[in-house]
Amino acid sequence: MILLTLLLQSQLSLPIPVENGPTVVVTADSLAATKKALAECLAYHCPPKEDIARSLAYAEMQFLSGDYQASYRTLLSSRGRNGRYDAVLPKEVADLHRATSRLARLNGVPINPRVDAADAVYALRAGLPANDPAILAQRLEVGDELAREGRAEGAFQHYDWVAREADKVGDFNLVGQAYLRAAVLQSALGSLYPEYRTRARDMAERILKRSEPEMLPYRNAARAIQIQLADEKDRAAVADRVIAEMEPGQNGRQMLVFSPSIRQEELHFGSAPGQAKANFIDFSYRITPDGHVVDIAPENISDKLPAQWVEVISQKLALRRYTPRNDHDPRKGQRLERFSIVSPLAAYKGSRVRSRASSWELNTFDLTADTTS
């Protein structure tokens, strides 16, 4: 399911391997059908596993249709009914916590994303062996949430722990994910703190020294660290050079290696600080075999989204670079991505009531991330 496999990307974007596949279409019928299916399930007190599956399906349709608050409520309700079954349904309950974490962030709810991501770890540990890859992968998401909260050293501790444990069981894909997350976060921090630039280069070298076949996409992504470390005006040119130097043999899965930042001041046109409802826009585009982005088109725009935002995001998408792929099938590389913007809830001195901040938080979602080419 899409909702379960979306990887949250902030401005500290992680280069994530994704499949090239068809786009997603949401209709009123699919939304109504999943709502009816869940209502029927609850009416006859269906088993927890079925309740979770139908809740996730309905919440997914709500999310895709843009009703983030209703989607969050659906997930919270299901978690209240089914959270206690983690010992017998560890993966299903963890999926529920994970989805709740992501919708909390979409709705600008502070703290909850990290707590919910950690709850998913506890659910998996309740019913799976201690070294199960699912537990290690979920620990990576906890690290991601710590990074988004500005707790970088806590994130590094999670990434390091996962890399060591994954190495012990020979899961080199997870080793690569953990190392790469650390390297990307260090390179992002390097723009403010020079010591992190050195750490980013050291981590990239550690990845490059790994010879396992599973590490190939991560070695190529590690080469892209120098893009983040370059001056902003030079990054597009450096990206083209780095991509040309990447190892051959990576087929089907193209990895984002360069994405220009979208700054707050670029999205000030027509904004309404403190707005509770998230705005979003979906873009379709195609990734060419050499890693460029073409055929960019807005597909779905929420109400009252300023036209200037569409222009800014289109320009940023055109500057992205992905790892190349070996085949030249023009039908591959088609993608659909959502850009979602919300004013997060914040606490202010002298008040116990949280209110919406005047700043924006941007999250991007690859809606084709769980499809196959």
What's the pLDDT tens digit per position in 80-107?
A: 999 999 999 999 999 999 899 888 888 8
**Cα(270)–Cα(254) distance, rounded to whole angstroms?**
35
pLDDT given at position 16: 37
Determine what percent of the chain is predicted with pLDDT higher than 90.
38
Residues 6+ apart with CB under 8 A from 246: 220, 223, 323, 324
Tokens found for residue 117: 């991501």
The pLDDT value given to residue 355: 60
Is 80 exceeded by the pLDDT of residue 61? Answer: yes
* pLDDT reading at 122 higher than 80: yes
Q: Which residue has the tokens 């994704």?
A: 18
Higher pLDDT, 210 or 303: 210
Query: Which positions ≥6 away from 40 have C-beta within 8 Å?
Result: none
Over residues 194-223, the mean pLDDT reads: 90
Q: What's the pLDDT at 76?
A: 94
The model's pLDDT over 178-192, given as tens digits with 9 standing for 90+, comes to: 999 999 899 888 878
**Integer Cα distance of 345 and 359 in angstroms:** 10
Residue 229 vs residue 76, higher pLDDT: 76
Asked if pLDDT for residue 370 goes beyond 60, the answer is: no
Q: Give the pLDDT confidence score for residue 10 in this predicted structure.
A: 33
Kindly report the length of the chain.
Answer: 373
As given in the structure block, the two tokens for residue 251 are 């087929």
Nearest residue to 63 (alpha-carbon basis) of 114, 91, 92, 100: 100
d(CA 343, CA 182): 27
pLDDT of residue 6: 33
Burial class (CB in 10 A: 0-12, 13-18, 19+), 353: exposed
CA distances from 313 to 25, 70, 248, 327 (A): 21, 26, 31, 28
Selection from 8-22, 57-71, 257-271 with the highest mean pLDDT: 57-71
- Predicted local confidence at residue 7, as pLDDT: 29
Contact 312, 262 (CB under 8 A): yes
Instruction: Please tell me the least confidently modeled range out of 81-95, 124-138, 222-236.
Output: 222-236
The better pLDDT of the pair 99, 111 is held by 99
Kindly report the three-state secondary structure assignment for every residue of the chain.
Answer: CHHHHCCCECCCCCCCEEECCCCCCCCHHHHHHHHHHHHHHHHCCCCHHHHHHHHHHHHHHHHHHCCHHHHHHHHHHHHHHHHHHCCCCHHHHHHHHHHHHHHHHHCCCCCHHHHHHHHHHHHHHHHCCCCCHHHHHHHHHHHHHHHHCCCHHHHHHHHHHHHHHHHHHCCHHHHHHHHHHHHHHHHHHCCCCHHHHHHHHHHHHHHHCCCCHHHHHHHHHHHCHHHHHCCHHHHHHHHHHHHHCCCCCCCCEEEEEECCCCCHHHHCCCCCCCCCCCEEEEEEEEECCCCCEEEEEEEEECCCCCHHHHHHHHHHHHCCEECCCCCCCCCCCEEEEEEEEECCEECCCCCCCCEECCCCEEEEEECCCCCCC
Contact residues for 134 (Cβ-Cβ < 8 A; gap 6+): 90, 91, 94, 124, 128
